[in-house]
Amino acid sequence: MSQIQQFVFHLVPNQLHGNVLYPLNSLWKIAPEIAENLAKKYAGRESIQKRYIPPLDCLWNDVLMFCPVPPDRLMQIFRDAGYDLEPKRWLKIAIARLELQNTAIYFSKNRAYGDHSVDDSDFARLDQVDFASLTQVPDALRAHIQSARSENRQPFMFVGVPHVLYKGELLLDEIEIVEF
């Protein structure tokens, strides 16, 4: 990775347990009411929660998920497609705060709507990819938004967007919050 300051982003959760960002499986143990609320986003896609992440030797719910695409770019794509989105608050996290050995990339490949399958080639260690290439809005997201609009359904925000996966918890001290 280059020496340029690089960031990942995470929507500010409506509910936090202290000043730490926890993976969902950890939250089930320490704050089950928060975990139950967060798990609702997987309704109809429950199998995703049991995905195995080979580079980190853990499950999907054992990691924190970050977006490498700056949120101003991401939100603008939805607004350009006619979605009237309220500004959202995002945690802006220097990638240097993440332990490299606990960080991987999930390449959200363009699959048919409702296909949540994955294979080992969908994952890579962070140090095996050009991080700058992950910061662009992918064409798959643009296509997903257009398809959702034409079918009058709500699009998912991160379809086709690579996910930065972090196995661990993250202390939120000195983390900048941005709004877009």
State the pLDDT at residue 174.
92
In a domain, 2, yes or no: no
Distances (CA, A) of 96 to 5, 50, 90: 8, 28, 18
In a domain, 24, yes or no: yes
State the pLDDT at residue 2.
47
In a domain, 49, yes or no: yes
Phi, psi of 109 (to 5 degrees): -75, 155
In a domain, 155, yes or no: yes
State the pLDDT at residue 116.
66
In a domain, 40, yes or no: yes
Q: Give strand pairing partners of 14.
A: none
d(C-alpha 82, C-alpha 167), whole Å: 36
State the pLDDT at residue 15.
86
d(C-alpha 141, C-alpha 157), whole Å: 8
In a domain, 34, yes or no: yes
Q: Give strand pairing partners of 118.
A: none
What's the structural domain count of the chain?
Answer: 1
State the pLDDT at residue 110.
62
Which residues form the domain of 105? Answer: 7-179
With a cut of 70, list the residues of the chain below it in pLDDT: 1-4, 110-116
Per-residue burial over 25-62, b = 16 or more CB atoms within 10 Å of its CB, e = otherwise: ebbbeebeebbeebbeeeeeeeeeeebebebbebbbbb
In a domain, 58, yes or no: yes
52: nearest Cα among 110, 108, 117: 117
In a domain, 1, yes or no: no
